[in-house]
Structure formats: C-alpha cells, structure tokens
Structure 1
Amino acid sequence: MLKTIPFLILFSIVLSLSDADAQRRTTYESLLQRSEQPSTYIDEALIPISDSTSAALVFFRLDYDFLPFLRTDSDMETPSEETEYYSPVRMGIEFFEGNVSESGRQNRTAVSVFRDFWSDTVWVNSFEETTSRFDHVEGLMWHEMKEGKYHYELQLGRGDSNRDLPSRRRNLNVPAKAETEKGSIILASSTTADEESFTGTLMNYGNNVLYGQDYELLIRFPSSADVTDGSYTLQILKRLPGNEDRTEEDPVFEFSVTADNMFHAVFESATPGKEGPVGFTLKKTESENGFAYAAISVPNSEFENAAYRVQLVADGQDEPLAQRDISSRWIDMPVSLYNLDVAIDQLSYIADESTIQSLNTGSTAEREQKFREFWEQRDPTPDTEFNELMTEYYSRIDYAYRNFSSMQTPGYETDQGRAYILLGPPDNIERRLPTDSPAREIWTYPNRTLIFEATSGFGDFKLISES
C-alpha cells in the first residue's frame, strides 16, 4: 500500500492538447526527454504613453540549464570566493517598419527604426546550479513607439560564442488611442500602488502562470469603454482539453470590477532586470489625461493545473473588452503527468486491470475527469486543490526511473523500483559484498525488511526475500 508523505506538493495534471491518437503513441521516455528540455520565454506588452505613442516592452527569461557555463579563472574578479562558474549573456533587439507577412516571409529590406542591447553575467557557486531549471536570468528592453505597424527580432548571445541566435520575427501593432477597441491584459507576479504610481513585477513566463501561486492582472480598458458609468466583470474560464477555442460554461473565478480597483495612468518607466525582477511603473494622472486600468488579484492557488481564458466583459455585451489565453506552469511536475495515457498506465502498481480499462474509455475530457476522480477519492487533503498523495506517487516513479534503470529495464519495472513506488524510501539501506556470492542490498522499513540480490554487474537487483 502506498505510504502517504505529509508534505505539501501541488496537485493536478497538464494535458497535451494533441489528439488522442498522438497521445497514445507517447511513452514515458519521450515525456522525460521533453520535460528535460531547457525553457526560454519571450513576451511583450504595449503600455500607452499618449494618444499616439506607446511603450513597447519586450522581456525574456532564460533558465540556467539553457545557458553554457564556463569555469572561472584564478585571476578573474568574481562576486565571491565560492563562485566557480559564470555565463555571459547578451540580447539584442531590432524593430523594423511594417509587419511580417502571414506566409512568414521576411522583408530583408525593411527599414530599421530602433536597436537596443542588453547584457549580463550569471555567476554560480556549484555545478548543480548550472543545470537548474528553477533559477534563471531575465531582462527587458523597451522603446517609445509611434502608432503604426512594426515587427522585431531578438538576437541571443551565450557564453563565449561569437555567434548570436536570431529569434523568429514577431509583429507588433501600435494603435492610436481612438483605435483601441480592445483592451489588454498584463500578467504580474506582484504589484504595489500608492496615490502617485503603480508598479508591477512582470510574471515573465510568456502566456503561463505558476501553478499553485497567486498572481496579479493589470487590465487596460479600451478607449471606447465608459468606465465612469459601466459595470464590468473579470471572468476566468477553464479551456477544455483537445480544443483551444472551447471553454466551460461556468467561470472558475468571477470578480466585479469597481472604482476601488480602477485608476487612470500613463507609462513612466521600466526596469531591465539586471539587479532584480523585470517590471514597469505607471504614473497616475487625472481621468481625462490618462488611460483606464484595473488591478485585480487572482487566487490561482485554488485552481486546477490547466489552461484558462481570462476575459473582461461589460454587462449586457457578448464580446469581451479584453481577453488572454493562459496556462498553468508546474515547473517540477512529475514526468508521467505530462500525458494522460502514460499517467493512467502507470497506475498499474495500485489499480487493477478493470479500473485502468475504465479510465481509458471515453473522450479525452471524459478520461481526464475519471482520472481526476480516481485521485480525488484518495486525496489526503480534499479541502485543497493540492493532492499530495498523487504527486508523491508519480514522483516516486520518476525516482525509480532515475535510480534503478538498467540497459534492459526501466527503473519503475524493476523489483527495487516497484518497492520504492509502493513503500517509499527505506529507513536504512545496507549493501553487502560477499566474497563468493552476488552483492546484496537490504532495505529496512519499520514493519518489513527487503533483501535484493544483484543479477549482473550493472546495478540490476532482484527481490529474493521479504520479511
């Protein structure tokens, strides 16, 4: 029986939005390879300055495991004596007139209107930090743009390489105030405000928010909205798996926007991220001189790990005034939870064959619901969104794969792997190396002892005794 470990881990599952056939071709090993890919994020925001100009903010985040690190030299000036590795990072940006065509063909004769350059050096104290997906470097560049159509390209330089990697070119349309029929939504990890200004720290995970962590929304109203007399509601709807355009009918979160959440402001400044997180500051102004905003806190820690649509709606209108699609990002999510089929198949250690067959019938949405219900029935903390038991179970599968795999057998199918998945880490492991017999490992638990014997010289062990 699976032993519950009493510490808080996040609950739920990110499902691939591909079709069912593609999901069924997925293996644990392919998910592992995908989950280990380094992450990079690029995002942008347009914040009005005047009726005809806006601040175009382009910001990015690079995980440490994406960066090539170099060893420090003895004569190098470092932040501390413990510093062992460093990685120079540079990012250039160039804005061009006009949009890139829908076909993706780039106009190499496009007129350049602005260039900027950002650079920093990452210093770490250990090799483990160089492979971290939880640590990152981030930056921001911005420019005041007149109304019009533009596109931009980023150039990334890493380590001591002289070759910069170009990003794909992205379109950026800067509207005049009278043309802003749609509002915009900016994701922030935190905000502060007083009578004179509003400051936001950008989430900086693209269209992702961190699963289990609350966040802030800064919503700019379209110029056509009558904010002094209208009634507005923020809605967050769950997007259905398998179809990005479909959402559940009932919002998972609704918030009535009132004067207490609203203010008028214009862009004032941005922080590049070299000495802290990237962010921006708005200067509050009188109503007739500024642009209307609403700042709203989202209790994301209460939501499932899923895809959502955030929208601002006016009472009596069907078309949203502002809309943005986002997804949860669970950075250390167990590998199996990246795919529903794999997650269900891995239940074979604690569920019988008929249960697994039942979970595997129906549409993707139906199978997901049954999978959730399976774990909800075993949730040690049903009053919270987190399911410690489910996450511990799949984390043990990952541990078994990393520590007990051989050339022939994945770790979760070995005797030691199965024992670890069902019983967790032993209180004590003793390895014995007899002179004339194979090596043995003795795992001691409070109520049982397992003895494993080596079957080869490559770490393969089989269970030979249980007492």
Structure 2
Amino acid sequence: MKLFKFFLSTALLFLCLLFFSDAAYGQWNNGYRQLANQKGKSPVSIDIITLPTKSDSTVTMGVVFNLPYSYLPFKKAKRTNSNGEFYSNLELSIEIFKTDGQKSSSKDKFSIKGLEPIARDFLSDTVYAENYEQSQSKKEFLNGYLQTSLPPGTYDYVLQIKRGQEAQSRMSRRQTVHISSFKNGTQDHVTFGNSLTTQNGISYVSLSKLGENVAYGKDFYMLAHIPNYDPSANYNLKLDNLKVSGKDTTQSSTVYSSTLSDGDFKTDILPTLSKAKDNDVQLNLKHIESGYTYALLQIPNKKLPNSLYRLTISKTGDSSPVVSETYRAVWVDMPRSLLSLDVSIEMLHYIVDDKTLDRLSSGSNEEREQKFREFWEKRDPTPETDYNELMAEYYRRIDYAYDKFSTQNKLGHKSDRGNVYIKFGPPKNTKRKFPTNGPTTEIWTYPSTKFVFQATTGFGDFKLVSKEKL
C-alpha cells in the first residue's frame, strides 16, 4: 500500500513537471466555490427487506439501517472513556398498522390516527468516536436492524428516530409495504452484500451499507430468492446500464452477462438477520429441510462506472425475468471538484498547458466529457478497473487545499500552500517557526524538496518564499 501511494504521488508530480506552465490561467468562474458551499449528503440508508420464516403463514419484515457518523450529532464525553472521546445516542422504532387500502393524502401522510397497530420494535444504541475527525466520517457507520413477523398482506408503517440529545423523535411519513409469501409467491427478493464468509458450514453475507445501492469501484454480492426454482433449467444473469433522460429509463445497454451454474444456487436455506463481530448487519444462510432457493452471486462491479443499473436473472424459455432489481453504484467519497465537468476541466490548469486545456474545454458536453475521460484513462494506474486512483487523488487534493488553506483573502486551492499541496501531496514533515522580529514561517519537507512559506497577514495567508532541493 505504501508503494502504491508513492506511485500515485510520483505520477502526479510527473504530470506537474511535464505539463505545468507558469503563465497565468485566465479568469476563474465561481463554479467550484458553489460546489464547495453545497453541503454534501451523508449516505444514510434505512431499508425494508423481507425474509422467509419456518412457517408458511408468516414473513419476516426487517428494517436495516446504516447511519454514517456524519449524520449523527456527537457530543464530547465529560470523562475520559476507553471507547472514544465523543459519543452519540440513537433511538429507532417501527410501528406497523393494518391498512384500510386507501392511499394517505398529503394532509394525513404523517397521521396514524385511527390505524390499528399490530406490531412494533424498538432499538436504543450508543456509538463512540475516537476523535472529532472520526465523528464527521462518512465511512464509519452505526449499523443495526429491527424485525417482526407478519402474515402476507399489505401494511402501513411509520419509523421514528431520535438522534443524540434531540428532545423529540422524528417521524417518517406513513409508508405502505406489500408482504408476499415465499412459499407460494412468485415475487423475487434481492439484497446486496459487501462480503461473504463461511464458518462451520454456514455462509454469512455482510449487507451493503448503502441499502438498495452498492459502492462504486468494489465488487459486491447479490442474494436473490428464486421462486419456483427448476434445477433442470438454465438461468442467465444480465446487467444493463440504464441511460436516464428525465423519467425515461428505457434506454439501456448490456454491460455484463453470464450463464449461472449449479454452484451459484443455494437450496434449502433460511436467511436470518444477525450482527457480525465487527457490528455489520449480515444474513446467515442456514440450511433447513424444505427451505428456500437463492442465487448467491459475486458481481464484477470494479469494472463498471458509477451509474444506474438493472440486474435480471432469467430462465431460458421464459418471456419474463425471474429476478429484476434496479440499483445504483454510488461513489460515496467522490471529490466535489468532480461533480461538475466544467470545474473538473478547469482544475486541470495546475498540470496542463493552456493549449491542452483549450482542447479539453472545446466542443459539446458529450465531446468534452469524452476527451476528459480519455485524458485520465491514459494516466490510469489500474486500467483493468473503472476506478482511477490517480484522478481521485488529484481532485481530492484540490478539495483538501480549499478546505484547509482558504482565508478571507484567497481560496485555498489558489494559495501558494494549496498549489504545492495539489502538485506534491501531503508533506513528510511540517514545522512552524515564530521568529521574534519576523513573520511566522511554515516549512514543508518532502523527500527531495523543501518549501518555505511566510505569513503575509494575520488571517492565515502564507506566501512561498523559497524552494530548495535536498
């Protein structure tokens, strides 16, 4: 891993030395500032899944939640705690009602008046963070689940959540869920997982923290109930990349397909929810007599772009698929400087000359996007995957420079420190000096170069005053 990080830094430095021009790059627009001021959404997921039970007359309704630390209000612990310096509390409950079959109007979408409750579940938990940075993370999660058994049918339900020190719980809108029988039904049930482990002959699928979506750049597992499974039939898997235009998702192209083997099916199993040792929510695929058949497949998502997909499993000879599920591959920590094509191209001025930048900036949106992709594809350290580590690192540095070095006088990525950080990455060593009769000095040391910055104002502005080869 250290060698790979060194390769990324070296490759970015090479790009800077190869393309950098001291000529000033035009007038900047406000695109990036607008992106930076947008508050990024936390990848919160609270999803309903259904699982069979040993009884033909009931179905398990599960509520699986994955809440990133950035979504939770943390509070500093009054006393030193071995679990962490910060903590946050969570209360989550679900209440399920018999439905009258009528859609709730905009006036009563939060009202449960007159509905007869038939089931409920409640959970309370406390999560700890070792430091402030961890408490703001979008990659650390509080995970868990609620569950209850219900006869097949149609129900209304509401969720209530209370975070941290909030005085009142927040209630969701009334939602309707249709619970179908596994034994006699034909409806498919699909869940996504991050990993697969086996212990004592039982397989465990760790569920995706993005609920009905999956993480971009990582392979994932799909567990799908196969109703009326026919062991003598041939089944085929297909992934279609959906082209979204407004509400139209009919345009698609097949990006992956395969014929399933007998080993891709697990028969006579009963999936149940549980918590793994690392607190991830998982499905236990226990074998039982007269159980259910599922397809358990690893999907090669590393090779696919972050986009919207439709996954289908079809039986040869049937006109309709046995399984159909739409999902999105999500780049959770995508640098915000990649959220706009205009900004992404504009920010290349650090490492390309004006002629190259003009070429990338010209043409229609489709032409510019194609040229932008080709630019980075030529510099992809792992061309066998869709995720480009070098590109991600470059734009991550731009975001970091903006966040850490911006002052009231200058945006961070336009500052001298930001310029050096973008091209060389984090320094090996940083030192500040406070001379009695001079400005504050900051020294950044890299393996072969030393940069010296001096404060120019009392508001955090630093100017590069020397660059030395070591």
Q: So what's the TM-score if we normalise by structure 1? A: 0.81
Change in 2 beyond 3 A, CA 1:232/1:402: same
1:101 aligned to which of 100, 103, 108: 103
Change in 2 beyond 3 A, CA 1:261/1:363: farther
For 2:258, give the aligned amino acid.
F
How many angstroms does 1:322 deviate by?
Answer: 1.7
Corresponding residue number in structure 1 for 2:333? 332
Corresponding residue number in structure 1 for 2:234? 231
Change in 2 beyond 3 A, CA 1:437/1:236: same
For 2:338, give the aligned amino acid.
L
How many angstroms does 1:340 deviate by?
Answer: 2.8
1:25-77 C-alpha deviation (Å, 9 max, x unpaired): 99434434546444421112112335443211111011222222334455xxx
For 2:173, give the aligned amino acid.
R
2:253 aligned to which of 237, 249, 252: 249
1:294-338 C-alpha deviation (Å, 9 max, x unpaired): 111123333333333222123345543222222233343322123
Corresponding residue number in structure 2 for 1:185? 190
Conserved 8 A contact 1:221-1:321: yes
5+ unaligned residues in a row in structure 1: which ranges? 10-24
Change in 2 beyond 3 A, CA 1:30/1:216: same
Q: Which has the higher contact order (CA 8 A, sep 6+)?
A: 1
Conserved 8 A contact 1:100-1:170: no
Specify the SS of the correspondent of 1:250: strand
Change in 2 beyond 3 A, CA 1:278/1:357: same
- 2:103 & 2:94 partners in 1: Cα distance? 20
Corresponding residue number in structure 1 for 2:141? 136
Specify the SS of the correspondent of 1:172: strand
Change in 2 beyond 3 A, CA 1:355/1:169: farther
- 1:453 & 1:8 partners in 2: Cα distance? 29
Conserved 8 A contact 2:203-2:285: yes
Corresponding residue number in structure 1 for 2:71? 66
How many angstroms does 1:397 deviate by?
Answer: 0.7
5+ unaligned residues in a row in structure 2: which ranges? 10-28
For 1:256, give the aligned amino acid.
T
For 2:136, give the aligned amino acid.
T
Specify the SS of the correspondent of 2:45: strand
- 2:298 & 2:213 partners in 1: Cα distance? 16
- 2:320 & 2:422 partners in 1: Cα distance? 50
How many angstroms does 1:375 deviate by?
Answer: 0.1
1:205-257 C-alpha deviation (Å, 9 max, x unpaired): 1222223332211111234xx52232111222333365671554232x32322
- 2:278 & 2:385 partners in 1: Cα distance? 36
Q: Does 1:156 align with 2:161?
A: yes
Conserved 8 A contact 1:309-1:325: yes
Further displaced range: 409-418 or 272-281:
272-281
Corresponding residue number in structure 2 for 1:43? 47
- 2:128 & 2:358 partners in 1: Cα distance? 51
Conserved 8 A contact 1:378-1:389: yes
Conserved 8 A contact 1:8-1:386: no
Corresponding residue number in structure 2 for 1:422? 423
Corresponding residue number in structure 2 for 1:31? 35
Corresponding residue number in structure 2 for 1:15? none
Corresponding residue number in structure 2 for 1:21? none
Q: Does 1:6 align with 2:11?
A: no
Conserved 8 A contact 1:220-1:293: yes
How many angstroms does 1:406 deviate by?
Answer: 1.2
How many angstroms does 1:439 deviate by?
Answer: 4.2
Q: So what's the TM-score if we normalise by structure 2? A: 0.81
1:260 aligned to which of 263, 279, 302: 263
Specify the SS of the correspondent of 1:91: strand
Structure 1 residues 282-431: aligned runs within 5 Å: 282-285=285-288, 289-317=290-318, 319-353=320-354, 355-360=356-361, 366-426=367-427, 431=432
1:279 aligned to which of 279, 282, 291: 282
1:63-96 C-alpha deviation (Å, 9 max, x unpaired): 222222334455xxx9x64643332211110112
- 1:177 & 1:259 partners in 2: Cα distance? 21
Report how many aligned residue pairs link the two structures: 440
Specify the SS of the correspondent of 2:369: helix
Q: Does 1:123 align with 2:125?
A: no
For 1:372, give the aligned amino acid.
R
Change in 2 beyond 3 A, CA 1:97/1:388: same
1:213 aligned to which of 213, 218, 221: 218
1:175 aligned to which of 175, 180, 196: 180
Change in 2 beyond 3 A, CA 1:209/1:82: closer
Conserved 8 A contact 1:198-1:284: no
Conserved 8 A contact 1:26-1:342: no
1:404-462 C-alpha deviation (Å, 9 max, x unpaired): 21113211112322232223344555655556654454555566665544332212233
